[in-house]
Each structure stands twice: as C-alpha cells, then as structure tokens.
A and B are shown apart, each in its own frame.
Chain A
C-alpha cells in the first residue's frame, strides 16, 4: 500500500512538470514580459524606461531560460523560468503583480471557500441521494417520469439563473438573508445559507439523474432479485442493499473533488461577495494579475492530482475486490 502511494506520488511529478511547462509557455512565451508590462501600464505612450522599471519592480527583468551574464549555477537559477515557475514546486508563489504575498492570501482565503463548498457538498449529497432514491423507489410511475423531466429541465437552466433568481427572491423580495458579503466565525451562517441552498438546487438535475441511473442499475442486479425473492421488503432492500452498493461509484466520484473544495467556486463566490479563493481568482482574471492566475493553475493541478490519488485509495477501502498493484 505504502509502495503504491509512493509510486503514485512519483507519477505525479512529470505531470506537474508538464503543467508547469504549459503555464510557462502560456504566460511568458506567447507574450513576452515586455508585452505584459506594456499592457499593465496602459497601451499608449509607454516609454521603454517605464517598461523596464515595471519589469524590475515585479521581477520580470531576467532572461527567460538562460542567464548568460550570471556566474555558475545562477546561469540557470537567475531566470524567469526558475524564479516564477520552478519555485512553484516548493509552493513559493511569490508576490502578485499588485505586490501582495500570494501564499499568504491563499492560506487566508481558502477557509471562506471551504465554508461554502463543504456544506454544499454534504447537503447536496443528502438531498440528491434522497431525491434519486425517491425516484428509484417509484420507478416507472408518473412520479418517476415527472422527476426525470424535472431533472432535465433543471439541467437546462443556466447556473447564473439560479444565482440571480435566488438573490432576487430570497434577499431582495423576502429579505431573509443578506444579498452578499461575509463575516468570519459563526456569524457566517447568514451569508453561507443562500449560496449553499442555490448550489444544492442547481446541481439537483444532473446529480439526481445520475444517481437515479446508478440506483436503477443496481436494482437490476441478481442479488437484488434474490433478496426480493426471499421476501425482503422493497424499502429495506433499497436502503440496506442498493444504497450500500450504489455508494461505491457515488463516493468515489466525490473523493476526486474533495481537495478542490479549497479552490471554491468562481461564480458563486463572486456573486455573493465571499472572500474565498474563487473570488480571488476571478478578481485576478479581471485585473489581469497573471502571477495569481499562474499560482492558482498550479495549485489546482496539485489538488486535482491529489484527488485522483485519494480516489484510487478510496476504491480499496469501499470495495475489497479491488487490489492495488
């Protein structure tokens, strides 16, 4: 088991190197630092001096890959590639183009993200599974049919609509919760409530439908028929046998997103003014702060790869038939 984990971690290295190269090419080769500096300073009337000054201030004044003028090892380390890309491996994100420490920002802002994402996930699981179970229990009936139709309709509505409609209805008309904002500590629940509810509802269509398919697949299996033939009541059958076995694909599908919960949701956080990593990223994109976007791309990939590893491990935990080799 330990050997497997270590080997998987080693596999992750070339992938992260690849991610790093992609971001490097995107951010420094497609557009030279000069272009970026010029864009930040405004396109017109930019003197070469101003460009130079901006590059020095933000640490873009070195050569890209190979520094001819530096002595010894520094020929390779005194470059943009080393400073901006290689150092990401040590989780040294450096400072943003606006001059703030990115690492510190991230460690502060991931908690509000988690405060939204985790309840959304848990409540979502509960609601979506109950919904799917209900449809599976009444399979083939009009309730099932209308449930499936409802799912397709819910799936076809833009995620933006749920947020806008939710804010309008619950905050503006009914004044139940504040429209946006955040407060650390337990007072946060007032601000967290609406995003969580909206998050659960907006995913109800796709998740509910998917879970229903899983349940129905499980219901069609032989062991279920046997259990039913032995006289097990339908409800008990569903909750003890079907649910237990169907949880394997459901849970493993969720494990992969667990680490990514820290990243938060771009849209949700920016609409509700939650100071999490999602809104951090979106602000960086809108202000064209490339240092932050670069850091988030790397962080996201690390978390995703971690999620994949956890998924494989969780398979062995829930399904003893699978052995890792």
Chain B
C-alpha cells in the first residue's frame, strides 16, 4: 500500500511535460512547425545530445513520482499509517543503495572505511585498523585478491547485456525503418550499418547503447559496491548524484516555465501598444536588471529563508518545506531572468507590428488581443524557444554556484551544488576526498554539455538569420 504525494514541483514538472507533449501533437500537423525540428534531428551531435537529455529527463521524471510507504500494521490497528518520509519511484528502482549507509567516507570500490578506527579484537588487543564496510564488497571473503576479478566479472556481464540490447535495438530499428522505407530488412540493416539515413539512426543506436551500458554497469555493480564511494555520513555518492538530477532539471526548466508568461506578455505588450505601457514595462525591467543578479537572488532568498523560519506552521513535512524552497528559488530566478527575453521580444514585436499582414489585420478591424495571439505570438515563438534552451544550461550551472553561496536549494535537498559545497570542505584532507566532487562535476558536465550542444542545433535550425 502506498499513498501518492504530489509536491508542488512535481505538479509543475508534469504540467510542463503535458505542454511539451501537447505542442508535439500540435506541431505534427503543420509543416512549417515540423520542418525546423526535422532539421534538428538530422544532426548527429543533436541526436546524440537529445538521447542524453532524454535519459536525464526520464530519471528526473521517475524521481518526480513521489509517494509515502505504508507502515506495517500493528495489532488492533484499523487505519493504515504512512511513513513520514516521502520517497520517489526512482528510490524504489535504485533499491539498496538508497539506504545502505556506511559509517563515514569510503573511496570508490573500497572494501574498508577511509579512516582508521580503534577496534578491540577477540584477544582484547586494541588496534588501529581500517574497518571493513558493512555493504561495499561485503560479499567477498578476501577483498584484496577477489576485488578486481569481481569488478571485472560484473562489468563484463554488463557489457554482454549491453551488446545484446544493442543487437535487439538494431533488429528492431531495421524492422521498423524497413517498413517505413519500403525496403527489405537486410538492405535496411545495411543502410543503418553504414549510417546512410537522413536521421542519423546509427548515432542514435550507439548513444542509446552506450547509455544503456552505463545503466547496466550501475545495475550490476551498485548493489554490492559503492561505485562512487560514500560521503561524510556514509551515504552512497552515486545515489546522491542520481537524485541530484531532478533538482538540476527542475531549476533549469521550471524557472523558465514560471518566467515565460511574464516575459512573453509584457514584451509583446510593450512592443505592440508602445506609449505609456512601453514606458512602464521598460522602467520595470531596467530597474530589475540594474540590480546585479546574484545580489537580488541572495536578498530574495535570504528574506524567504527568514519568512520560512518564522512561519514553520505552513509546512507539513520536511520534504514539503524543501520542495517549496526549491519552487521559490525557481520563482526568484525567474523574476531575475525574464528581463533579457522580455527585451528581445519587445524589439521583435516593434518590428513585426509594422509588417503588412499585421497592418492588414488592423485595417480589417481585428481586435488587438486577437492580433497579438494569432499574428504576433506565433512569429515570436522561435525566439522564446531559442532562449529557453540556451537558458537551461546556465541555470543548471547557476544552481551549483548559488548553493555554494548559501542561497541555493534547501540543505536537505540533494543537489550537485550541495554535494560540491560539502565536499569542498574536505579538500584539505590528506589524501583528498575527491569522489563526490568527481561524481557531481561529471554528471553536471554531461547534462550541461548535452544541453549546450542541443541548444546550438536548435538555434541553427530556428534562427532565421542562421539559414542560408
């Protein structure tokens, strides 16, 4: 028995997914909307980065389905009681590594703790040794000799599974595309193998297989090893960094979702109505813009923190509190970041409103709001789309910096910024604790790189100036 929990950010994330899917169905029907996307998916780099982004997104979505587990029934109990902590479907899938905590730091694939401890052995003699881990490599009798073989064996297993997956994917693609291209399975397979297709299916296949291999690697290794070691309180670093994906995605996307209505509406109004409306809106964004971004964010977050501290009665669970703080952070980031897009849209609207078709609509007596929605908005959408994808990677990176400054997400929320922040304090240690930094930076880097490459492709396809 479980009780689903819908956090605020979950609701908004699924709203966003709904919007994207709905737009996808809408765009399918219109050639002019489909054409640029077709151009995007013809690039090899774009397809590869899209696959990576999809993997991240799926992880984030799985992590957005929250629920509370039912507690075991006590004797004479009628109503089911639910556990206080909110977990996600992803937690369920990850299984053991969510809960298998060691005592403190341990290196990746270690079988002993990172620090010495005084242990009294059976003869009553005190010894300073590195104690064995409770979970990491606990299935081995003699870790020094068996460890390499075990890791190699499990990796090989994952590799074989991934190869099988790739073969299955290849056959499936050949079957599906063969029907589409009206060719036999064999010729389709040949064309696929040589990479002769408009959409680079071979790149798609290789990227998917590579990522599936990584997933399988984790699935094979993580149950018995701490792949990225453990952190100060002994929690698995791999688990933390996977959980951080959702935080990064939420900040990168919800911020945009929140600010878009303001930016689009105000930008269009300023450009279309001109006069005093324009003056007021320009004043508004110049003022907001003139406060250095980090300082405005810091001031707002500090004030929100005080508000939350003085009103603890508003939040039922810790998760809710952390979640609302995340949402507020998105809100604040949105308020500070809509100005750039607003200015762009204003400029474009100023140009568009003088064009013949808008003037014609005006002359026919079409109302202003209809002109804005029907004639101006669709012609602004490419700017909106480009700026959304470009902003995304910047926001993911900003989260880390803000958490470092102390105005980021809640300290209890798992995020790359929090991971880096706490690992940074251990820099002075000798030898260094480097694995949480490595895990956080590499996961963040992959996401941001994919987003950057993808946004380049989107910009090239959608920006009319880029077209030759």
- Chain A interface (Cβ within 8 Å of chain B)? 14-15, 18-19, 22-23, 26-27, 30-31, 35-36, 38-39, 43, 152-153, 155-161, 164, 167-168, 172, 260, 263, 266-267, 281-282, 285-286, 288, 290, 293-294, 296-297, 300-301, 304-305, 308
CB distance from A98 to the nearest CB of B (A): 16
Closest A residue to B456 by CB, please name it.
Answer: A152
Q: Which residues of A lie under 8 Å from residue B162 when comparing CB positions?
A: none
B20 interfacial contact with A, CB 8 Å:
no
Produce 1/0 per residue, B391-426, CB < 8 A to A. 001000100110011110000000010001000100
Closest 3 CB pairs of A and B: A18-B287, A156-B449, A300-B292
Q: Is the CB of A267 within 8 A of B298?
A: no
B303 interfacial contact with A, CB 8 Å:
yes
CB distance from B326 to the nearest CB of A (A): 19
Binds A, one of B167-175, B179-187, B215-223, B440-448: B440-448
Q: Which of A23, A266, A288 is most buried by chain B, counting CB atoms within 10 A of its CB?
A: A266
Q: Which residues of A lie under 8 Å from residue B404 when comparing CB positions?
A: 160, 267
Q: Is the CB of A15 within 8 A of B283?
A: yes
Q: Is the CB of A35 within 8 A of B310?
A: yes
CB distance from A161 to the nearest CB of B (A): 5
Cα A267 to Cα B288 in complex, Å, equals 22
B78 interfacial contact with A, CB 8 Å:
no
Q: Which residues of A lie under 8 Å from residue B303 when comparing CB positions?
A: 26-27, 30-31
Q: Which residues of A lie under 8 Å from residue B307 when comparing CB positions?
A: 30-31, 35
Cα A23 to Cα B287 in complex, Å, equals 11
Cα A260 to Cα B289 in complex, Å, equals 14
Q: Which residues of A lie under 8 Å from residue B286 when comparing CB positions?
A: 15
Cross-chain pairs A/B with CB under 8 angstroms, 15 sampled: A15-B287, A18-B287, A31-B310, A36-B306, A39-B310, A156-B449, A158-B444, A167-B427, A168-B427, A267-B405, A282-B405, A285-B298, A285-B405, A285-B407, A288-B305
CB distance from A11 to the nearest CB of B (A): 9
Cα A161 to Cα B444 in complex, Å, equals 11
Query: Known contacts A22-B296, A35-B306, A36-B306; can you find 15 more A-B pairs with CB under 8 A?
Result: A15-B283, A26-B303, A30-B303, A30-B304, A159-B401, A161-B441, A164-B437, A286-B406, A288-B302, A288-B306, A290-B302, A293-B295, A297-B299, A304-B290, A308-B290
CB distance from A84 to the nearest CB of B (A): 14
Closest B residue to A286 by CB, please name it.
Answer: B406
Q: Which residues of B lie under 8 Å from residue A36 when comparing CB positions?
A: 306
Q: Which residues of B lie under 8 Å from residue A27 when comparing CB positions?
A: 299, 303
CB distance from B276 to the nearest CB of A (A): 14
Q: Is the CB of A14 within 8 A of B291?
A: no
CB distance from A265 to the nearest CB of B (A): 10
Cα A266 to Cα B444 in complex, Å, equals 21
